Structures are given as C-alpha cells and as structure tokens.
Amino acid sequence: MNGDCAMAESLFLIDSTFLLEMSRNTFCGTPLMPDSSGRDMTMLFGFARELLRLRKQLGMRKALTVLGDDRPCLPDSLTSDAIDLLQRLHVPVLYPKGVRVGDASAALAEHCTWIVTGNKSMLQLISDRCGVIIRTKGNELGVVTVASIKDQLGVSPIQVPSLFALTGKKGHDPILTQRQAVRLLKLHGTLETVLQKAAAGDLGQAGRKLVKRCDALRERCRELEFKAAALGEMKGRDAEANFIEKAEAAASVLREYGFWSLVRLLPFPERELVSRINLADENAPWHDYRAARTQAELDELHKMVEAAEVCALDTEATTKTRGMRCSTASRFPSGRGSLYMCP
C-alpha cells in the first residue's frame, strides 16, 4: 500500500450482510447472552464486535452501513435488532426494503472511496474512484482496486458477473476453470457472446458443456449483476456519515446492551493502521481490452488506428514463420499512423 493521505478522509460503504453472517457462523445460534427479558443477544453482540473491529482496524471516520433484503438464512429479529443498535450508536444505516445490498451499493459506489464486504461479486463495482476491501475466508482483509483487479482475477470489473457465472460449481464440478473462463472472456467480452459462440460450435468441448447449461448460466449471471437502485439524493449524506463521533455516548449504549467488553474498541488507534491507496495510480494504468466482432466494430478500430501516432499489432505466427523476426511499417492514407506488425 502506498500514499501519504490517511484513510480517515475516505467514505466507507459497509455491506453489513457479511458481518451478520460472520456472527451467525461464529456462534451457530448458541444462546450465550440473554438480556434481562430473556431475549438472546449473542449474535447481535458478534455483529457489533465485528463492526467495531473493522472501524478500528481501518481507522474509519466516515461510513455508511447497508442492509438489504437478500440476506440468506438470517433471522428477521437479528436484522431489526442490528438496525436499532446502529441507530442508537449513531452509525449511519441504510435499509431500503425490497432492495439487494449489491443494488444499493451500486447506487452509492460513485460517492464512496471503499466498499467493505465479504461478497466477491462486489468487485464489479470497482472504478477509478472506488475500491473494494474484501474479507477473505481466513478473515484477512484484501484490497482490490481498478489497478489490481486484472492481476488478481484476470478480468475487468464489468466482466466479474460473467466470470463467476462461468466458474460457478454444480455440486463439486465447476463448468470451467478460472483460466478457461478468463481466456474466453478476453476473446469474447461477455457471457452472452461466449454462449453464442458455443451455440455456433466454435468453442469445441468446452462449448458443448456451456450449451447444456446455457439457461442456468444466464440466470446465474443475472443474479450476480448489480444495478443501481433508486435511493434518492445522496446530497448531504456524506456530511452525515460520521462514524461514532461521541465515544462516551456509544459506550453508554453498549453497557445497556450488556456488551461491556466492546467498550474498549471505541477509541480510535493513535495512528492509522491502513494508508490510503491512490485509486488512480499513474504507475498502474488501466487497460481496456475489447474484441472487434462486427463490421461496425472493425470500422471503429480502423478509425482509432488511423488516428493514432503509432499502433502495434501482434499476429499469430504459423509453424513456417515461427521464429522469424520482422518489423514492417505501412502508412495509412492519411499519412498519420504507422502500423508495426510483429509475428
């Protein structure tokens, strides 16, 4: 990580679903902390603990927490209790009913610096303004930005749903390996184009596997794609996103719940534990790879090459020409661009 600017100025968007799931998986529904009325507070305690740990670990000063209606296998009472607790702690929380967390996050991503989540599908929301901090299976935090996603996954953010649909498992049998899926998406761009090529018989054995499950793949990709939900104006929410400004008032709330051990997590660390990453790092340029498959796309490519000062073209050599080294240049009619062909 690099950069001298502290992350304290960043606005974090926290996907609360994975925190609730972590609490559920940690305690497995065991009632360890009944309150005075006999209601179990164990999973709520776990949720609050993970949230405060994140706040301390990342040095968060501004944050929005989001809950959605797509939380799997979580009791409704836990969600309502979590919302009540967040509001009492003065933690900004959004709970748009009938909206998935991913769709809410898609609407808010352009206003945030970081999305904190346990859902890899959120990687599709990465841009030059917004990165993703993702919790891995080992409970470590991984940082993915627009400059690093291709190194980590092999695809661009917009291709993430297609990649995960292609590499999803049916039982223990993945449809394609990561390498196969990345290769196909590099060549054809989207899942839909890959399936069209498979139906035409252009992809061999892998294509036949895809044809058999084309409907399921399309449905899975639609489930993984996030579309910005209508959440109203974001104006003013940034200023209202201060994350537990008054520690003593928050400590009083935690004591009322019986969460005494969490009070020690309220003070911020003396220094930031994570430094801000430059999302638009000039040393890590973003490349856009697209396949020209129609006459209109080829015409567009011709115009781009003609307008460029220099263009390099890598060609696939046959066995007869493999090993040869040549560099030929041809002028376009305009006389502007040079085309270097290197088999």
Mean pLDDT, residues 45-60 taken together = 90
Mean pLDDT, residues 111-127 taken together = 94
pLDDT in tens, 79-114: 888 999 999 998 888 888 888 999 999 999 988 899
pLDDT at 169 (0 to 100)? 72
The answer on 196 and 78 residing in a single domain is no
Mean pLDDT, residues 228-244 taken together = 67
* CATH code (residue 11): 3.40.50.1010
State the Cα–Cα distance between residues 332 and 214, nearest whole angstrom: 43
The answer on 254 and 119 residing in a single domain is yes
Domain boundaries, position 218: 157-224
Residue 288 lies in a domain: no
Mean pLDDT, residues 183-200 taken together = 94
The answer on 196 and 47 residing in a single domain is no
Residue 151 half-sphere exposure toward CB, CA atoms < 13 A? 9
**227 CB burial (10 A radius; 0-12, 13-18, 19+):** exposed
pLDDT at 15 (0 to 100)? 92
> How is residue 39 written in tokens?
């209601």
The answer on 172 and 30 residing in a single domain is no
Answer whether 241's CB lies under 8 Å from 235's CB.
no
State the Cα–Cα distance between residues 93 and 13, nearest whole angstrom: 10
The letter for the amino acid at 174 is: P
pLDDT at 328 (0 to 100)? 41
Residue 275 lies in a domain: no
Residue 236 lies in a domain: yes
Closest listed residue to residue 251, CA positions, set 263, 242, 259: 263
Burial annotation 248-282 (CB, 10 A radius, 16+ → b, else e) = eebbebbeebebeebbebbebeeebebebbbbebe
Residue 283 lies in a domain: no
Is residue 325 over pLDDT 60?
Answer: no
Is residue 327 over pLDDT 50?
Answer: no
**Domains of the chain: total:** 3
Residue 287 lies in a domain: no
Which of 25-34, 121-130, 246-255, 268-277 is least confident? 268-277
The answer on 250 and 105 residing in a single domain is yes
Mean pLDDT, residues 125-133 taken together = 94
Mean pLDDT, residues 180-195 taken together = 94
The arrangement of strands across the sheet holding 338-342 comes to 310-314, 338-342, 328-331
- 90 — alpha (psi -120 to 50), left (phi > 0) or beta? left
Confidence band of 315 (pLDDT split at 50, 70, 90): low
Confidence band of 12 (pLDDT split at 50, 70, 90): very high
pLDDT at 23 (0 to 100)? 79
Query: How many angstroms separate the most distant Cα atoms in the chain?
Result: 85
State the Cα–Cα distance between residues 209 and 186, nearest whole angstrom: 19
The answer on 117 and 39 residing in a single domain is yes
pLDDT at 223 (0 to 100)? 93
The answer on 27 and 46 residing in a single domain is yes
pLDDT at 154 (0 to 100)? 93
> How is residue 305 written in tokens?
């090459």
Answer whether 41's CB lies under 8 Å from 34's CB.
yes
